[in-house]
Chain A
């Protein structure tokens, strides 16, 4: 590519995983105990990585491809339905 073909203003395009699979950064992994969950959605609201998936019935699951394992969900869960387990 010649210099003339380069864009005048560099424009990024949106995509999921702009810096790759950030789940690799994780040291502790959140495990949701579905039988304890009361669907309050606190974990979904507080997740900085948008890695908690909320379905039509407000069930929550973790997107382990992008969860960085910060542990906010486990700390904020009012019924302690999320456990942090060390990655192997």
Chain B
């Protein structure tokens, strides 16, 4: 049965109301989708990140499934251990999921992530990418995009965003995908696909943060959609080494159908200072990116 809003379960399986996320937080939406798709037989590993606050203070938790809080660098390694233990016990129907931020994935957790990917451990690694260390006060991460303001890059970051899904794809794992919180059903479909594959699965979820990106909380979904529609955040999957653009991104190979990048950038306070030259740099970046994607689409890349 194809996924649609109507046939997602009505009850909340993973996240309960009354958690500590800021209003308009994309993580709440993401975690609810994870619960609805993967079901109760799920174990979540959470390193230090926004989610370790959102779950609530001891002795209560807003998360209904077993959750392990671990140190920043160890999330993928801990999940590997849990998955191996389940295998040794003969338990086959549990999804072991890492739910880590971009700091815990692209910076501090990269080594453990790479190790687990290389061993092809049976886990689903989800990186929700809010493009900075939001939980500790909006410090730059290697996932922060070009010219974005953070509290440690007050004049805008000078470097471009690290392409983590491409790095992970080079580990020859069965499944890598990108998703955006603006398209929850696309994310749900990719999760469902990942849950049926044995081995290491990686999903990189763009999660627009109203606090750190400086936009109104009601615009979370719109910003998530615009990131895709402008072509800055392509939705794709790499299944057994074959690259394929998915859902809305498939139509964006035609340049005329892409929304101008300026519309996405101007919506966010973190890009308030950018000049017309910076926007040109972004436009060139998007054009080059899509030239590469055009060549990759439908091909075996690893």
Contacts and interface: CB of A to CB of B under 8 A. Distances in A.
A41 B60 contact: no
A37 B148 CA distance: 39
B218 A71 contact: yes
B71 to A, nearest CB: 14
Contact of B18 (A18, A26, A72): A18
A21 B55 CA distance: 14
Q: Is the interface of B mostly helix, strand, loop or mixed?
A: loop
A45 B8 contact: yes
Interface in A16-61: 16-22, 25-26, 40-42, 44-51, 54, 56, 58
Interface string A66-82: 10111110111000000
Contacts of A25: 23
B16 interface: yes
A18 B62 contact: yes
A76 B181 CA distance: 13
A16 B16 contact: yes
Given A42-B5, A72-B217, A72-B218, A51 B61 contact: no
Given A50-B12, A54-B10, A72-B217, A18 B21 contact: no
Contacts of A22: 17-20
Interface residues of B, number: 41
28 contacts: A12-B55, A12-B59, A13-B60, A14-B64, A16-B17, A17-B16, A18-B61, A19-B56, A20-B18, A22-B17, A22-B18, A25-B23, A26-B23, A46-B184, A46-B221, A47-B29, A48-B21, A48-B23, A48-B25, A48-B28, A48-B29, A48-B32, A49-B19, A50-B16, A50-B17, A54-B10, A69-B23, A74-B218
Interface of A: 10, 12-22, 25-26, 40-42, 44-51, 54, 56, 58, 63, 65-66, 68-72, 74-76, 84
